[in-house]
Amino acid sequence: MNQIAPLIIQAGLVLGFVVVTLFGTFFLSKIFGTSRHSKVKDENFECGIENQGDARFPVSVKYFLVAILFVLFDVEVIFFYPYAVNFKEMGVEGFLALLMFVSLFLTGFYYVIKKGALDWSNK
Amino acid sequence: MDFIIEKSVLIVSVFGITLVMAMYSTWLERKFAAFLQDRLGPNRAGIFGLLQPFADAGKMFFKEEFIPNHSEKFLFIAGPGIAMFTACMTSAVIPWGPDFEAFGRTISLQISDINIGILYIMGFLSLGVYGIMIGGWASNNKYSLFSAIRASSQMISYELAMGIIIITIVMMTGSLSLRNIVQEQSGALYNITALKGLNWNIFYQPLAFIIFMTCALAECNRAPFDLAECETELIGGYHTEYSSMKLGFYLFAEYINMFISSTVIATIFFGGYNFPGMQLIENSALLTVMCVAVLFLKIIFFIMLFMWIRWTLPRFRYDQLMHLGWKSLIPLAIINMLITGAVILAT
């Protein structure tokens, strides 16, 4: 409890600051600032030429693949944390278990690389 | 009740210091760039241009609030808010100085000593991706979208290597709490009494430091990994459509992240507030002041290192960036972890 309360206070302070500043400037500039609109000005920026459609289109699947692989490997990395905290107590036996886990990790990693999932340049 | 007041004062001061550090980082960046390019840099507002950050902030406040027609209004405003929120929350678990006695009680210069301190920082770093991704997507601008996707993909890639490096440090310390990690580093280096206070992890883990530094650069979207905002390809990056204080929040969040990254590097590799000769100082108040000053010197050194790297190295290409992150840093980090484990068990 003693450790969580300050975190909540900080979250409240930061959240208050962010919300007040963002919405404060939003409304203040509505009241005091200039606000001119025109069809051309309100368009999204695109090199100064006329817009071609909008930005809701599919992008390269590589990015998606990276995200999926991240989820996979990050879960495996998270499994190391409880081990690392108890590393000294678990001794050699624990280390051998770790080696086994790392070899599984590296096997998956090697497979991903050999499959070319992380190749970005066109060959 | 005393506890709450004490912590509130600490929280407000840490928040204030974070904002001031971020403001003056912008000043320092411009001065440093000017120095490296043989220019003068900002020198009109105040002596040495020291009031420049205030002038910039004031200008940000009075700029026209502009939201493009086709953007998602709510998410467009929420994006910079999330970026700023996550950036400001990470400072909670950092020990800024040793405990000291005042008003008849022991005061700790750490907002919260949760026992998963370093995971907390990693967690908020990961949440930072949302600020960029939401802002970039909600702009409905092609450049912003590309930039946001690049940034998220880059940040999650480098998080893996960063996580493995932190495991190495945790193996040496046996604790995830930053307080324990710092206290561990107050001993004598290689058990030589003359080197007391120098038992920093950098002397045991130089490779880990280099990998961590690289990942920190990538996590902060700093050069040479600033592909999210490379001007020649993507106009301004994910904040192309932003103006006024919302733009200010994105820039601010970036500098706060840089400040926090420097702090984390100083804390887990360079002994935090420890310095050689600190056992000679008897007065506990003086010791605390000196420890905080030393920590901030280290932080400013790393912020300057970030800037130095920015003006020294050219930008990576995207495939090189991914190649470095996945095929070099992750295997290196794993090998480093295994060697560390073996050495600790052998001794």
Give the number of beta-carbon pairs within 8 Å between A and B.
Answer: 188
- Looking at the domain assignment, is residue A122 inside a domain? no
The encoded tokens of residue B22 equal 């971020």
Per-residue model confidence (pLDDT) at position A115: 85
C-alpha B14/C-alpha A119 separation (Å) is: 43
Question: How many other C-beta atoms can be found within 10 angstroms of the C-beta atom of residue A36?
Answer: 8
Domain count, chain A: 1
Give the pLDDT band of residue A1 (cuts 50, 70, 90).
low
Q: What is the pLDDT of residues A59-107, one digit of tens each?
A: 888 888 888 888 888 888 888 888 888 888 888 888 898 889 899 989 9
Question: What's the confidence (pLDDT) of residue B305?
Answer: 92
Question: Cβ–Cβ of B245/A21 closer than 8 Å?
Answer: yes
Picking from A14, A34, A35, A114 by the largest number of B CB atoms within 10 A of its own CB, the best residue to mutate is A14
Other C-beta atoms within 10 Å of B347: how many? 5
Quick one: which of B262, B261, B278 has its CA closest to B98? B278
Chain A residues whose CB is inside 8 A of the B71 CB are 44
Residue of A29 and B31 predicted with greater confidence: B31
Are B176 and B118 spatial neighbours (Cβ–Cβ below 8 Å)?
Answer: yes
Which of A2, A17, A25 to mutate to probe the B interface, most B CBs <10 Å? A25
Q: What is the DSSP letter of B196?
A: B
- Alpha helices, H only, B63-204: 73-89, 117-138, 142-173, 178-184
CA distance B235 to chain A (A): 8
Q: Is B328 on the interface with A (CB under 8 A)?
A: no
The Cα B318–Cα B220 span in angstroms is 16
Q: How far is B35 from chain A (nearest CA, A)?
A: 33
Chain B residues within 8 A of A25 when measuring between CB atoms: 61, 65, 244-246
> Is A120 a domain residue?
no
Distance CA A31, CA A51 (A): 31
Domain hosting A102: range is 5-115
Q: Is the pLDDT of residue A49 over 60?
A: yes
Closest CA to B238 of B90, B128, B88, B89: B128
B-interface mutation test, from A85, A99, A104, A105, most B Cβ less than 10 A away = A85
Spatial separation of the C-alpha atoms in residues B297 and B291, rounded to whole Å? 10
Which secondary structure element, helix H or strand E, spans residue B100, and what is its range?
Answer: strand B100-102
Would you put residue A52 in left (φ > 0), alpha (ψ -120 to 50) or beta? beta
Instruction: Chain B: give the shortest CA distance to residue A102, in Å.
Output: 8
C-alpha distances out from residue B19 to A76, B7, B226, Å:
36, 18, 23
Q: How many domains would you assign to chain B?
A: 1
d(CA B165, CA B172): 11
Cβ contacts of B63 on chain A, cutoff 8 Å: 29, 33
In this prediction, the residues of chain B whose per-residue pLDDT falls under 70 are: none
A40, part of any domain? yes
Q: State mean pLDDT over A14-27.
A: 86
Question: What number is the ipTM of this complex?
Answer: 0.86
CB-based contact, B180 to chain A, within 8 Å: no
CATH code of the domain containing A30: 1.20.58
Has residue A75 been placed in a domain? yes
C-beta of residue B31 within 8 angstroms of C-beta of residue B48:
yes
Please tell me whether residue A53 adopts helix, strand or coil conformation.
Answer: coil
> CA of B217 to nearest chain A CA: how many angstroms apart?
19
From chain B, pick out residues whose CB is under 8 angstroms from the CB of A11.
89
Residue A123 confidence (pLDDT) above 70: no
pLDDT at residue B300, rounded to an integer = 92
Q: Residue B39: which domain range?
A: 2-346
pTM of the model: 0.90
B330 phi, psi to nearest 5 deg: -65, -50
d(CA B172, CA B190): 14
Report CB contact under 8 Å: B174, A87: yes
Is residue A121 domain-resident?
no
A123 belongs to a structural domain = no
